[in-house]
Amino acid sequence: MKLRTGHALTILAGALFAFAIASSQDWPLGTRLFAQSIAVPGLILSVLNFTQEMLRFASGEPLSASFDVPMEKTIPAPVLRYRTLNVFGWILGLFLMIWLINFKFSIPLFTFLYLKFEARERFLSSFLLAGLMIALIIGIFDFVVHVPWPKGLVERWLGF
């Protein structure tokens, strides 16, 4: 059997999730729950995906070609370059906001800004989804799991 790109990615993701589970065993409960709430479902899904691909291979059914689809050649190189730089700019902006403000306020702010200005969503949709992010981050990770958030640069300057 020929190992395809999708198989390698599934194996790599599964190994990464297994490593996260194993390395978080000695962590405090709140931190361990945060890591394992992502790693355990990820490992299960990786194993299920790999098993499904192997069963398809054994039955002679064609394997999924999600990573083998040729890229569309009609998009001009300058447009692709602009789109790539645009995405990296948004990601860099998110990292800068996290560093300057802090994580729990930067994520909802980034969500609102991205949806409003890049995705051109309506104000109400952007506002509601940013509010949902606030509820998830502060509600679950701050009040329930008690994740200690590192302070941003501005918070340290102002002495919060």
Span between the terminal Cα atoms of the chain, in Å: 58
Q: How far is CA 68 from the centre of its chain?
A: 23
Distance CA 111, CA 76 (A): 29
Residue-wise pLDDT for 22-37, tens only, equals 999 998 888 888 889 9
| Nearest of 6, 12, 8, 88 to residue 43 by alpha carbon | 12
- In this structure, are residues 40 and 98 in contact, taking their beta carbons and an 8 Å threshold? no
Could you tell me the pTM of the whole model? 0.58
Residue-wise pLDDT for 69-114, tens only, equals 555 668 888 998 999 999 999 999 999 999 999 998 999 999 999 9
Q: Is the pLDDT of residue 67 over 80?
A: no
